[in-house]
């Protein structure tokens, strides 16, 4: 597992910063967003550090986070949810450890704003 000492989400994986976990296994960690944008807002990350979608070349990471998002939906018995990946500060990325947002519990506009 690759971790970065100064990465907030690596610290959540390691347990040195607390988070409300949905689940964790050897590959991924899912935890509630501290500033939720929907009644249910969970972040799914690979335990291995990769900065962003664009900077990640390992398809295993993509598979892990998307499969992890499905596991969250199933665990929370959600059938209607939105998955979001922000890539780059201009698109709203603020934590540079690749993560999928899973949001549910309210209507979502489409096209998205
Ligand atoms: P981004 O803006 O990078 O796509 O998403 C980062 C998310 O991480 C934000 O929604 C933000 O609320 C969340 N976040 C930032 N710091 C923490 C933290 O310390 N704990 C948790 N659980 N979420 C955090
Ligand atoms: Zn990290």
Chain segment 48-96, per-residue pLDDT in tens: 999 999 999 999 999 999 999 999 999 999 999 999 999 999 999 999 9
Question: Known catalytic residue: 99?
Answer: yes
CA 74 from chain centre, in angstroms, equals: 16
Ligand of minimum distance to the alpha carbon of 21: 1
* Residue labelled with tokens 């664009």: 54
Ordered structural domains, the chain, with CATH: 4-104 (3.30.428.10)
Contacts of 16 (CB under 8 A, 6+ apart): none
Q: Can you tell me the distance from the alpha carbon of 96 to that of 83, in angstroms, rounded to the nearest whole number?
A: 17
Nearest CA to ligand 1 atom 24: 34
Give the tokens for residue 112.
Answer: 């998205």
pTM equals: 0.97
């Amino acid at each position: 597992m690759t971790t970065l000492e100064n990465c907030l989400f690596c610290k959540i994986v390691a347990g040195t910063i607390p988070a409300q976990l949905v689940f964790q296994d050897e590959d991924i960690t899912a935890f509630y967003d501290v500033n939720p944008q929907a009644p249910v807002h969970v972040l799914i990350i690979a335990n291995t550090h990769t900065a962003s979608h664009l900077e990640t070349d390992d398809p295993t990471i993509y598979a892990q986070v998307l499969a992890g998002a499905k596991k969250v939906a199933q665990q929370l018995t959600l059938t209607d949810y939105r998955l979001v990946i922000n890539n780059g500060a201009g698109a709203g990325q603020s934590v540079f450890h690749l993560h999928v947002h899973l949001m549910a519990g309210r209507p979502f506009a489409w096209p998205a704003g």
